[in-house]
Structure 1
């Protein structure tokens, strides 16, 4: 509107300062020029309003884009931080996994050696004790340990804790192998059946009987056959660990036994397990 008023004022000024009288034709031309100028002015004002609107809209869009850029930058920084943290954690876990896998391989190697040693020991004992296997002696492997099982009739007279001559011969053969295999520990376990002990003097029950028989075997191995006592332990299990649960004379006979549990020394394994 300011442009329009300025143009009209300019035309009026020119007319007032002109001393020349206009002819009708000149007047019409002047009016036509004025109208043309007004139209152009109107168009310019319309264009100006449109440009101002576009400018305001572009400013808003630029502001929105800047906010979006700021949000994206913030998200990027957060993601980058999380990525770095996750990457560090992954690297740490990967390192821990490699250590655990190496540790597992060490344990597997030691256990493999243990099983190989147990198998070799079983073979030696089976050969050394071959003559007693028909009399109730067995040798087998359970959980990496060698079990030498001797029925009570092979070692003791009925109801006795004193080893007889046949039992001493079996233990002598066993000790001959064990004195050569110094890396083997031994646990002597006494076992009974579930029949109540009667008329055995100072022996009160199956616990007493199992302990005293295990102690008798341990004493014979250490005092007579000179097995290192630091390698032996003696325990009584009573009737708590039957190998045959049947309620028959044959099952009870199998349950009355001495088991000598032979365990390879696993210092390497224990040290490895206790190492952090």
Structure 2
């Protein structure tokens, strides 16, 4: 009977052990699942924490920028306030200095009027000089002569085509009549100084015994001087020959028309100081100057 009872206990113990083993595996699986869930929550927590830290850093940077901007605004406000205070102070002082300001404006107006009167006087002098120096020429003759008066100095400009043979410094036959007209102007005022000034374009010269445009400009001026002396009786003591080569252009040397204007001879008639002062005395007042 005892033996039989033991035989029944063995299966029961084995069954109980198997039941205990089954419960432990389920718990283990549940723990694993719980562990995975916790790991995922931890990972998500780490990501949320990193994102929060990045936002905090961005907010801190923005706060720093706003503080700096606020400081700049405060500084600008302080400057504006200072300017306003200064303007108020100056406005108060301006009421005291207004009469002085009016006096200064009146003085400026008087000076401006003086400059206007001086300019009118100078224009009147130029008109007197032009009339006196060209009175021997008819209107038709003046078409052949370009005359300008600047600051009391007379400039008579003649093109090389009128005066010289092509590529040469020899006076052409057609220039005789023109030079005769110029001699009239010079002889009218026998004490004036006369400078004959040659000018060229930038094209290089290729003539025998002429090295460059310097030589050509001086030789052309010398030819005019000698013609005025030998043909028309102008005193050589009054005459000066000079050349400026290509270095005093009045037009663009890259165009045919510009080169033609630069190839010129200027006859410059200059009064001496005492004659200049005499002409000033003769100059009419501004209101009597005829309009052109």
Name the residue aligned to 1:209.
Answer: 216
- Matches of 2:138 and 2:122, distance apart in 1: 25
| Equivalent runs, 1:164-243 vs 2, <5 Å | 164-198=172-206, 200-243=207-250
Shift of 1:130: 3.5
Contact 2:152/2:276 (<8 A) preserved: no
Contact 2:200/2:246 (<8 A) preserved: yes
Q: TM-score, normalised by structure 2?
A: 0.49
Q: 1:258 aligns with which of 262, 265, 273?
A: 265
Name the residue aligned to 1:120.
Answer: 131
Name the residue aligned to 2:252.
Answer: 245
Judged with a 3 Å threshold, the aligned counterparts in structure 2 of structure 1 residues 174 and 128 are, in CA distance, closer, same or farther, namely farther
- Matches of 1:177 and 1:207, distance apart in 2: 28
Within the alignment, does 1:133 sit opposite 2:143 as a pair?
yes
Shift of 1:128: 4.6
Within the alignment, does 1:149 sit opposite 2:157 as a pair?
yes
Shift of 1:139: 1.0
| Equivalent runs, 1:31-70 vs 2, <5 Å | none
Contact 1:129/1:174 (<8 A) preserved: no
- Matches of 1:129 and 1:150, distance apart in 2: 17
SS in 2 for 1:219: helix
- Matches of 1:179 and 1:147, distance apart in 2: 16
Judged with a 3 Å threshold, the aligned counterparts in structure 2 of structure 1 residues 259 and 266 are, in CA distance, closer, same or farther, namely same
Q: TM-score, normalised by structure 1?
A: 0.52
Q: 1:267 aligns with which of 247, 258, 274?
A: 274
Shift of 1:193: 0.2
The answer for unaligned runs of 5 or more in structure 2 is 1-117, 278-292
| Equivalent runs, 1:21-100 vs 2, <5 Å | none
Judged with a 3 Å threshold, the aligned counterparts in structure 2 of structure 1 residues 175 and 268 are, in CA distance, closer, same or farther, namely closer
Contact 1:197/1:204 (<8 A) preserved: yes
Spell out structure 1 runs of 4+ moving beyond 4 A: 110-114
Q: How many residues align?
A: 162
